Structure 1
Amino acid sequence: MFNPASWSDGETIYMLYRAEDSTGIGIWNGESVVGLATSRDGLNFERHPEPIYRAVEEWELPGGAEDPRIAKIDDTFWLTYTAYDGETARQALASSKDLFEWERHGLIFPQLGWTKAGAIVPKQINGKYWMYFGDTNIWIAHSEDLINWTPIEEPVMRPREGMFDSGLIEPGPTPLITEHGILMLYNSADDNLVYRTGQALFDINDPAKLLKRSDDFFLEPDTELEVDGQIPNVVFIEGLSKLGDTWYLYFGMGDSGIGVATWTP
């Protein structure tokens, strides 16, 4: 289990994590499903006994449903995940009122090839919804109904030569709406595929406009599981939730476990 998304109602944190079996070791690792765990303190979780979401279509098997991200807009949860058929990874979409019964909406960008990491901004801006996505550059797409998405051709962020994010970048958890703009925590790798995390701020009135970007990372692999896991040298953030006065940032550890970092203002 690794690479978890999260959402909080203020009293409980709901973690949607990627669980992987061993059916495809040496080929695609194994089929991935989405599991659910809950916590009242952000640290100790109780797992639901069965997956809450699993792949059923040809275009998402045998690899399954990978790397979920979750956003709640009004009374609906919107799940983006990587559908992996063993060869091509593509973003897919589902929605739910309760995290258990899901309506499947298929591929988000059927006209595109390889696409990953869809992070939906949880607020309508200028009459549209917005999603950051991509795992080399970061692109943006917009939608009027959260189901049909139109990507903008030009990336909104690119890797930076000679820096911690020189190799690739991709969105992390659901972006936050702040008084300064749209805050996106993102994943990145350098030229040696060491994964670290950064921050970017976008204009609240123009979500495609990058305002600021961190010069340094704030999280890097340093534990045994992160350095020597199934995929070495990886910390991979996908879940950010607030409980009380504390923010909990959940991340995958080398594709082999789940870690958490906390911040209390």
Structure 2
Amino acid sequence: MSNLTKWSPQVELRDRATRSGPALATNGAMCMAWRGLDQDNLWVSISKDNGKTWSPQHELKDRATRDAPAMATIHGRFIMAWRGLGQDNIWVSTSTDGLDWSPQHELKDRSTRNNPSLAAAGDLAVMAWRGRDQDNIWVSTSSDGINWSPQHELKDRSTRNGPAVTGTIRGPHGGRLYAMAWRGRDQDNLWVSTSTDGINWSPQKELHDRATKSAPGITHSDKLNVFYMAWQGLQQDNIWVAHSEDGLQWSPQVELKDRATQGGPIGLTPNDTLYMAWRGLQQNNIWVSTLLP
């Protein structure tokens, strides 16, 4: 397993900036999506060399958000979800190449006051989000990224930001496993839970030794069989990371003292190891780095 203290030098992508955290997903190529800086439209870019270089940024002029978008992949397609701009409903779209996206589809029965989160494991995608009129976490599943099951409220858990969710078909006991992480509601500690179907979740577990002031990011590397989590620190803005084999027992937190962010979520996606993208601290440009083998 890679040493979480060893990362490539952070690289500033000076041609792109955002008011929220960027989202990442991998489908052969890597795709990045983010909310614009001076307006709220969604922007996208792809990389075909594990994040070393990125295509020119591409504005999706017909869709906008007031929070960070979310991304995942299913059936060889990218899925994107985001909170609407003029209202709080969740919208979705899919793409085969990360640049050209299907018409946006509004999920009129569900809304949020933060960013949603997406995960996929095999042929089943999961969406998780914070409720609009209360703070409980809600979940739903889909086999295509456009048509979603009835929303299901997790009444025993709540958050002050959008939750983060990821999935794998290579769980520790074989088969599908999803992991969720979120910032607590009445305090700032991180909480975690797992699920095999995306709807029924294990009892929530508080990670008493780590806290954040924004939404965390989470992903799974099937190559390394490990979950990764990253988050903005509580008392300062540096990025912290940890890993887990089962989504519940997490390694000691590691502070990345050379990098900081104005707020989460931190974009994470597996490449040969782990790729990270985040909004800068003193300015709004997007920064990237890779975990060294």
TM-score range, shorter chain: 0.5 to 0.7
In the alignment, structure 1 segments of 5+ residues that lack a partner are 22-29, 160-166, 225-232
Give me the TM-score of the superposition, normalised by structure 1: 0.66
Structure 1 residues 1-265: aligned runs within 5 Å: 1-2=17-18, 3-9=21-27, 13-21=30-38, 30-38=39-47, 40=49, 42=51, 44-51=52-59, 53-55=60-62, 64=65, 66-85=67-86, 88-108=87-107, 110-114=108-112, 116-123=114-121, 129-134=125-130, 136-155=135-154, 158-159=157-158, 168-172=160-164, 175-177=166-168, 178-180=170-172, 181-186=177-182, 188=183, 198=190, 200-205=192-197, 207-211=199-203, 213-215=205-207, 216-217=210-211, 219-221=231-233, 222-223=236-237, 234-244=262-272, 246-253=273-280, 256-260=284-288, 263=291
Q: Once the two structures are superposed, what CA deviation does each residue of 1:140-180 show, in whole Å capped at 9, x if it has no partner? A: 11335432323444326624xxxxxxx614223x5132524
Give me the TM-score of the superposition, normalised by structure 2: 0.61
In the alignment, structure 2 segments of 5+ residues that lack a partner are 1-16, 212-229, 239-260
Compared CA separation, residues 91 and 197, structure 1 to 2 (3 A): farther
Instruction: Quote the Cα distance in structure 2 between the aligned partners of 1:144 and 1:157.
Output: 26
Q: CA deviation at 1:247?
A: 1.2
Aligned to 2:157, the other structure's residue is in SS state coil
Mapped contact 1:236–1:253 kept (Cα < 8 A): no
Instruction: Quote the Cα distance in structure 2 between the aligned partners of 1:131 and 1:78.
Output: 11
Mapped contact 2:26–2:73 kept (Cα < 8 A): no
What RMSD, in angstroms, separates the aligned Cα atoms of the two structures? 3.6
Instruction: Quote the Cα distance in structure 1 between the aligned partners of 2:111 and 2:49.
Output: 40
Compared CA separation, residues 197 and 104, structure 1 to 2 (3 A): farther
Q: How many residues align?
A: 223
Q: CA deviation at 1:238?
A: 4.9
Structure showing greater relative contact order (alpha-carbon pairs closer than 8 Å, 6 or more residues apart): 2
